[in-house]
Amino acid sequence: MDYDWSALELAFRDEVREFLEAKLTPELRRAGRLATSVYPDHEASMAWQRILHERGWAAPAWPVEFGGCEWSLTQHYIFNRESTLAGAPALSPMGIKMVAHAIIAYGTPEQKAFYLPGILTGEVFFCQGYSEPEAGSDLASLTMAAVEDGDDLVCTGSKIWTTHATEANWIFCLVRTSRAGKKQQGITFLLIDMSTPGIEIRPLVMTSGEQVQNQVFFDNVRVPKRNVLGQIDDGWTVAKYLLVHERGGAMAPYLQAMAQEIAVEAAQQPGPDGNSLIDDPAFAAKLAEARIRTEVLEILEYRTISAMSRGHNPGPASSMLKILATELSQKLTELALTAAGPRGRVYQPHATKPGGPIAEFTPPTDDYRSGADWQAVAPLRYFNDRAGSIYAGSNEIQRNILAKAALGL
């Protein structure tokens, strides 16, 4: 397999670089560089989405008729890679990168006409209602009930770990409409207006102090049946389709940029012997191993792109990439925290661009920072990244998938 870009692909890369150089303002770059998790500062993310939408690049993976681009898989990878390396803030994935694909595949003409233009502009902003207090990795055990009543479904229950529920005006939910048959049956995929009476949002304070996740309660919330995506009782089919898009993406460039930043900053920090930390053999060996693994991850991503471009299903490769990327990210955040040294132990979220409000924290009146901004980012990223091996299907579940699909166990 040839890993070199073609002349057309190099020309596209240069076009993307020129666009990023012209449109990525210092404020947007700072938001990307100082993000404390995979979820960026909301205002910066929406500002960048508006710029991308103006260029026609907000949702390149969508079909052209709905506002997407006729890009090859390689072009998608190049765009994601260059955006990451340039420090662009990420877009919230729940709308553009997740539920939109399900709407395109399973929505009625009326649903497509209503939701898709608003998702592109940001006027329709979705959060995800999957997990429940007793249904996480075993999502099919969900119990939030939706009872048919005329033209409505009346929903009662709760969802948890709902990212950006306080910013969203819509939520896509899996709800229980029947208890007959297997637990994967009787589940319905429902789009719910967050302004509907009976919805209550309670923010959850994470170990980083951020209020990005929430628990959402539904008390006899009436939702029109026209908001069902797909068929009643067949929502599991829609959810499985959407999950493929949740686990997609190019993580290697992001991790390579993180590793490079650690190397640069570690060179400025004293090690155990008084020399720079990057010269400490133990630290240098751990960082070198991590950087090698980012290169391996990139090759695996290239292989997956190559297979998909030839019409092949990636199969268990998506599970393998998810495991490698999240566990490598956790390793790199550990190294970043080590490199940050004593100043990295100071809690100073005002020096970062967190993905949500910070609970019970009053910044100093003079905006004082102990050390550099990257040292303030390190502990928050460390805490947030502990969830990486759990979300989008825990890594234990992904290993079970690999054992069955790849090894035949």
| In contact, 168 and 216? CB cutoff 8 Å | no
Which CATH topology does 126-241 take? Butyryl-CoA Dehydrogenase, subunit A; domain 2 (2.40.110)
| In contact, 74 and 9? CB cutoff 8 Å | yes
Structure tokens that stand for 126 in this block: 């979705």
Return the pLDDT at 207: 86
Alpha carbon of 315 to those of 19, 62, 128, 318, 398: distances in Å?
A: 34, 21, 24, 7, 12
Q: Which of 272, 397, 290 is nearest to 334 (CA)?
A: 290
What are the domain boundaries of the chain?
7-91, 126-241, 247-405
Give residue for tokens 């599970």: 319
CATH topology match: 126-241 vs 247-405: no
Return the pLDDT at 390: 83
Return the pLDDT at 180: 85
Which CATH topology does 247-405 take? Butyryl-CoA Dehydrogenase, subunit A; domain 3 (1.20.140)
> pTM of the entire structure?
0.86
Return the pLDDT at 175: 97
Return the pLDDT at 330: 94
Which residues fall within 8 angstroms of residue 84, CB to CB, at 6 or more apart? 250, 253, 254, 257
Structure tokens that stand for 315 in this block: 């199969």
Beta partners for residue 145, in sequence order: 156, 176
Return the pLDDT at 241: 84
Complete DSSP assignment for 281-335: HHHHHHHHHHHHHHHHHHHHHHHHHHHHHTT---TTHHHHHHHHHHHHHHHHHHH
Return the pLDDT at 311: 67
Low-confidence residues in the chain, pLDDT < 70: 1-3, 244-249, 308-314
